[in-house]
Amino acid sequence: MSDVKAEVVAVFPNKVKIVVDDLENFRIAEESLRVGSYLKIADNENAVLVAIIENFQIQAREDGSQDYVIEAFPLGVLRDQKFERGGDALAIPPKTVQPATIDDIRLIYGSSLPVKDRFCFSSLATNKEVEVPVDGNKFFNKHIAVVGSTGSGKSHTVAKIVQKAVGAKGDYTLNNSHVIIFDIHSEYRAAFPEANFIDSASLVLPYWMLSGEELEEFFLDTEANDHNQRNVFKDAVIKSRKDNFQGGEIEKQRIHLDTPLPFDIGDILKDAVEKNTQVNGTGELYASGPKKGQEKTTQGSLYGRLTNFVNRLESKINDRRLDFFLGEKSRIITFEETLRSILGYGEGECKNVTVIDLSGVPFEVLSITVSLISRLIFEHGYFYKRLRCAENANEKINNDAPILLVYEEAHKYVPNSELSKFRASKMSIERIAKEGRKYGVTLLLASQRPSEISETIFSQCNNFIAMRLTNPVDQGYVRKLLPDSLGTLIDKMPAFKQGEALLVGESIALPSVVQIEVCTTAPASTDIPYWDLWQQQWKDLAIDKIRDEWMRR
Ligand SMILES: Nc1ncnc2c1ncn2[C@@H]1O[C@H](COP(=O)(O)OP(=O)(O)OP(=O)(O)O)[C@@H](O)[C@H]1O
Ligand SMILES: [Mg+2]
C-alpha cells in the first residue's frame, strides 16, 4: 500500500476524481476496493474527507502502462473524531488518499451520537462489522415508513425494530416502551409470544365510542343520504345515552352524538321499529263494516319509511361476526377497560407490545375498527397531555409513556383513495400523522406500495426504510426523499437482497444501504421452502377443519 501512488486530480461539489497507479495494492489488509467502498482524503489541516466509490475506469498512459481513475462521492468530513455531513469543508489541495479502515467508517456512523442515544438494528451492507445506529429519540419521535416489494423483508424489519425497542432496558426488568401492532395476516404473535394478544375472538370494542361520523357511516346507508334515517338515528342515540346516564341534570343536557357515553343499540332498533310501524288514533270510530266501533287510525309520518334502516340494523345486530363490536360485552365494557386492554395495562399487566390480530375482522368493518382503536390511542395521548399540563403548567415533556402504532399493509387503511369505505381509518390515521408527535403517538407504516399510500401520511414520515423495490413508480417516491446528490442509491434498490434496505432520515448520520439484523423470534411470514416440501411424502389435508375455520368468518 505504502508505495501506491494515489492522487486527487479533481474536486467537484459532488465528486472527487482520484488517479491510482496500482489498484491491486490500493487496499487495507485483505479487503480489495469495490464500488461502495469508502476512501479518506486528508488535507493539510486536520480534516479528512470521506468519500464513497461510485465507479472505476482504466486510463492508458503513453508508455503503455495503465492508471486507474476512481470517481467517489464525498459524504462528509471527519474532524477531531467527529463526522459532519457535506463535502465542502475540505481545504484545497487535498493531500493523501487512502482506503478507509473499519474504525474510520465506524466513526462516521457512531461519532455523531452519544452512546445512550444510539438505537441500532442494522449494519452497513458493504461492511457488516459496522453497526449503523440511528438517533433513538429522533427515530421514534417522527413517523417511520418501511416500504418494499413482497418478500423483501418488511415484516422482519418491523419485528426487529420492535424487539430491539422492547429489549432495551435500563436498570429495570421491564422497560417503558409501548407498541401496538395492527396485524392483518396473523404474523406477529410468533414474533412476540409475550405480547398482549388480542384477536377477533377476544377483542371487545364498544360501538358507543364511535364518533358521530363513524356511527353514521357504520349504521346508516350513507350513500342514500336519507334524512329521516339520520334524524331518527341521532335522536335515538342521544335519548338512549341520556336514559343510561347516571350523572347530574346539567351534564345530561350536554350529551350529544359525539359524547363517548354508552347507549344501547337495542334501544335504537326498538325506536326505529316503532316509528316504522307507528299508527296514530284519530279519535273517530268506524261507524260500520268489520272494524265497526274501532278507532280510525292514520299512519305515522315515518310509517314504512324506515324499513331499510330497520333491516340494516337487524342484520348487523344478528351478524355473529360482529359480536366483538355489537355484542353484549361491547355494550357493557367501560371506557377504562377498553383503554386498558388496548394499551396492555390490564389488571396486573405491563405489556410493552400489544398485537391486535385483525385477520378475523370482516373486511367491511376493518376500516372502522382500525379507526376507532387509532382514535382512542390518539385521544388518550391528547387528554393525557391536557391532564399533565393542568397538573403542572411548567412541565415541558407532557407524556412519559409515548406510543408507537404499527400498521402492516398500511395501504389497506390509508390508501391514496377517496372511497368511503376507507374514510374512517384514513381520517384517524391522517390526524395522527399530522398531530400525533405532540401527543406522544408515532406511526410505523409498512407497505408494498408507497405510491398507493395517502400522500398526506407519506409526506409526514421522516424515517424511511426502503427495501427491495422494483416498481419504477414506487422507486420514484423513494427518490424524492433523497438529496439529489444521493439519487443514484435508488439504482441499487431492485437488486437488494432480503433484509437489505436504504435507510434515510433525520435520525441517521447519512443515507446508507444497510442490512437489517435477523429477528430473535421471527414473524410467521417466513418464505415457504417449496422445493423441500414438495420432495416429501404426500400430505393429507384436513379439509373439514379448513372448512370449519372458513365458516367461522
Ligand atoms: N434481515 C433479514 N435477514 C435475512 N433474511 C431476511 C431478513 N428479513 C427478511 N428475511 C427473509 O425474507 C423473507 C421475507 O421476509 P418478510 O416476510 O419480512 O417480507 P415482507 O416484505 O414483509 O413481505 P410481504 O410484503 O409479502 O409481507 C423471510 O423468509 C425472511 O426469512
Ligand atoms: Mg410482510
- Ligand 1 atom with least separation from CA of 467: 21
117-204+333-551: CATH homologous superfamily?
P-loop containing nucleotide triphosphate hydrolases (3.40.50.300)
DSSP letter assigned to residue 48? E
Kindly report, residue by residue over 199-255, the tens digit of the pLDDT.
Answer: 988 999 999 999 888 888 888 876 777 788 889 999 999 999 999 888 888 888 999
Determine the angle formed by the axes of helices 307-318 and 265-277, rounding to 10 degrees.
Answer: 150
- State the pLDDT at residue 464: 92
**What does the pLDDT average to over 478-497?**
79
517, three cell numbers? 439484523
Residue nearest to atom 30 of ligand 1 (CA): 526
Residues of the chain with CATH 3.40.50.300: 117-204+333-551
Tallying the residues shown for the chain, one arrives at 553
**Better-scored residue on pLDDT, 28 or 9:** 9
**What does the pLDDT average to over 186-208?**
93
Distance CA 225, CA 307 (A): 15
Do the Cβ atoms of 214 and 370 come closer than 8 Å?
Answer: no
Binding site membership of 148 for ligand 1 (Cβ less than 6 Å): yes
Distance CA 433, CA 414 (A): 11
Residue nearest to atom 2 of ligand 1 (CA): 499
Binding site membership of 529 for ligand 1 (Cβ less than 6 Å): no
- Ligand 1 atom with least separation from CA of 160: 1
Binding site membership of 150 for ligand 1 (Cβ less than 6 Å): yes
Binding site membership of 516 for ligand 1 (Cβ less than 6 Å): yes
Do the Cβ atoms of 54 and 14 come closer than 8 Å?
Answer: no
Residue nearest to atom 24 of ligand 1 (CA): 150
543, three cell numbers? 379439509
Probe target for ligand 1 pocket from 121, 150, 154, 156, with the most ligand atoms within 8 Å of CB: 156
- Give start and end residues of each alpha helix (H) in 319-447: 323-326, 328-332, 335-343, 363-391, 423-435
Do the Cβ atoms of 207 and 330 come closer than 8 Å?
Answer: yes
Q: What is the mean pLDDT of the chain?
A: 87
Look up residue 102 and give its amino acid: I
Binding site membership of 448 for ligand 1 (Cβ less than 6 Å): yes
Residue 283 belongs to what H/E stretch?
A: strand 279-285
Which numbered ligand comes closest to the C-alpha of 407? 2
DSSP letter assigned to residue 415? B
Kindly report, residue by residue over 55-69, the tens digit of the pLDDT.
Answer: 889 888 888 888 889
Give residue for cell 385483525: 358
- Residues above pLDDT 90, as percent of the chain: 38
Residue 465 belongs to what H/E stretch?
A: strand 461-466
> From the CA of 159, how far away is ligand 1's center (Å)?
10
Binding site membership of 156 for ligand 1 (Cβ less than 6 Å): yes
> From the CA of 351, how far away is ligand 2's center (Å)?
23
Do the Cβ atoms of 452 and 145 come closer than 8 Å?
Answer: no
Kindly report, residue by residue over 339-397, the tens digit of the pLDDT.
Answer: 999 999 988 889 999 999 998 888 888 888 999 999 999 999 998 888 888 888 887 88
- State the pLDDT at residue 170: 82
> From the CA of 525, how far away is ligand 2's center (Å)?
6
Rg (CA), the chain: 31
At 55, is the secondary structure helix, strand, or coil?
Answer: strand
339, three cell numbers? 383503554
> From the CA of 529, how far away is ligand 1's center (Å)?
13
Look up residue 375 and give its amino acid: R
**Better-scored residue on pLDDT, 3 or 216:** 216
Kindly report, residue by residue over 20-40, the tens digit of the pLDDT.
Answer: 888 778 877 667 788 888 898
